[in-house]
Structure 1
Amino acid sequence: MRRIAMTGAAGRVGTLVRPFLRQHVEHLRLIDVHEPADLAENESFVGADLSKLDEATAALAGIEGVVHLAGLAGGVDMNAILQANVLGTYNVYEAARINEVERVVYASSNHATGFYPRGQIISPLDPMRPDSPYGLSKCWGELVAGLYYDTSGIRTLSIRIGNAGTYPNSERSIAIWISARDLAQLVRIGFSHPSIAATVVYGVSDTDEKWWDNGLAARLGYQPQDRPRDHAHIEDGAEGAVARAFQGGGFCEFNHDGTIRMRDGEGLAKNPETVS
């Protein structure tokens, strides 16, 4: 694809990924409420509030594909999440339909499945288990992607991003970190692979700590180039018992009553363990 848009382009992930993506496209349109710094020759900026359908529609005019990164990254304010992550994502897809955009790469999150225990390897075929209001909004986005493929033929690669920080800063992030260039590789696959429909993969670099079966990403051609432990700078302290138990880490602690519950077949505990 030649003309690509990136929503949330001024954010942390957009800023990291842009240099690796713009060299592969003719033009990269940056969409945000704030103008990103240091625009390249083949980049342009469009200011838009994606919670407003008319602004989203105008921003995607003449575009072939969208990297949808915009939204609140975390947080527990459900009203804000509804505006930014839920309504904003719906409007991006509706604007894509109106503009006949062919493909979307959706920045989903590992927090869509954050309540799986760390001892269990899961795949995108396992049921969603969101760990927070933020994770719940990412489940919504994946379902919106499926709806718009079934009704309009818009193809989406939903990437359940692990940790897309500059470097892994904890043992948990070492297990789930993805470098900017590996994430950009997945984005390019989302725009080019003929088998993409409403497809979900995990966004993780070449880690030894296998929490996710990412075989589908490999079959699509994903070959991560970076190893998280090679880039690690451990900064944070010890996790609480609830955070340690689940893949979502600290996100799982929101409104949690302290009782660690395992679902049928997970085998970590027959009876709930009360955390003091």
Structure 2
Amino acid sequence: MIGSNPPAQESQNAAARCIDRSGKRIALTGGSGRVGTALRQFLAEQVTSIKIVDTADPGPLGANESWEQVDISDGEALATCMADVDAIVHLAGYPNEQGIDDILRVNVLGTHNVLEAARRNAISRVVFGSSNHAVGFYPRETRVSETDPMRPDSLYGLSKCWGELEAGLYFDKFGIRTLNIRIGNAGDRPTDARALRIWVSSRDLAQLVLIGLEHPDITCTTVFGISQVEAGWLDNRAAAALGYIPADSAQSLAGPDTALERPSPMPHIAEFFQGGRFCVIDHDGTLRGRLR
């Protein structure tokens, strides 16, 4: 609801804003990847320890970091690996479109295995790296909130919908609390017009992760992983209600390249929908409207 918050909620939000550290030992799947590596730099001093779970070598480790070479598609190995952590931050998986067999094996089964590892090890908190592509087939003129129906723009986006839905199942059945972060464009700075509307810094993403690890009101909760953006497409009041105050601004880091969209073979599709070029993959080229 839009309006002033009652005193109890104001007090709760003030407490949430103070979440700048977690005493939890976390497992970070995909911690060797681009987003995971950048996130570790901000989480290193904010959590007790980070166990990187990845098939790829993460390179030099921090003082409170370790690495286990585990494939998330191997459920038994993953469950064993998670036996000594308090929470899981799940970023592993293909970050772009792939064939259905790879999407099912890694993104879908892998996320299932993460939730199963949490259940088997009595881990009560998961932070799931979802994606804006879970709602990528909304027109750019539509402002989307976490309560709007999912409209994935790709098999990749569909796999993120699966992860969010299964996280809900695992809360309802087992009480595992998950913050689904629909990550926008994660990088050092926005690099095109679309990224300018959905960009997120590593520092702001780390803030959301800490909220996911510690906020008392997380159930199966969905927010958008975006920093301060102007004329954005995503309504992130749910994150603000949890105390999220982005520190970084997309516009302050924008260069001349953000005036233009990246080239696409179907600009009438890519520049109409929020998912951009992901919407173009295997598209037949006909622009369709759909009731919300």
For Structure 1 versus Structure 2, the TM-score category normalised by the shorter chain is over 0.9
The equivalent position to 1:75 in structure 2, one of 97, 101, 104, is 97
Partner of residue 6, structure 1: 28
Partner of residue 228, structure 1: 250
The equivalent position to 1:59 in structure 2, one of 72, 77, 81, is 81
SS in 1 for 2:117: helix
Paired letter, 1:18: R
Partner of residue 283, structure 2: 256
SS in 1 for 2:185: coil
- 1:264 positional shift: 2.2
**When the two structures are aligned, how many residues end up with a matched partner?**
265
Paired letter, 1:259: T
- 1:115 positional shift: 0.2
Partner of residue 139, structure 2: 117
- 1:167 positional shift: 1.6
Q: List per-residue Cα deviations over 1:45-95 (Å, max 9, x = no partner).
A: 111011011111011111111100000001231111111100000000001
- 1:210 positional shift: 2.1
SS in 2 for 1:24: coil
Alignment of 1:1-276 (within 5 A): 1-233=23-255, 234=257, 237-239=262-264, 240-264=267-291
TM-score (norm 1): 0.94
CA distance in 2 between counterparts of 1:102 and 1:37 reads: 29
- 1:232 positional shift: 2.4
Given that residues 118 and 246 in structure 1 are in contact (C-alpha distance below 8 angstroms), is that contact kept between their aligned partners in structure 2? yes
CA distance in 2 between counterparts of 1:186 and 1:167 reads: 18
TM-score (norm 2): 0.89
Given that residues 76 and 132 in structure 1 are in contact (C-alpha distance below 8 angstroms), is that contact kept between their aligned partners in structure 2? no
- 1:38 positional shift: 1.8
- 1:166 positional shift: 2.2
Stretches (4+) displaced over 4 A? none
Unpaired runs of at least 5, structure 1: 266-276
CA distance in 1 between counterparts of 2:196 and 2:276 reads: 13
Identity among equivalent pairs (%)? 51
CA distance in 2 between counterparts of 1:46 and 1:230 reads: 38
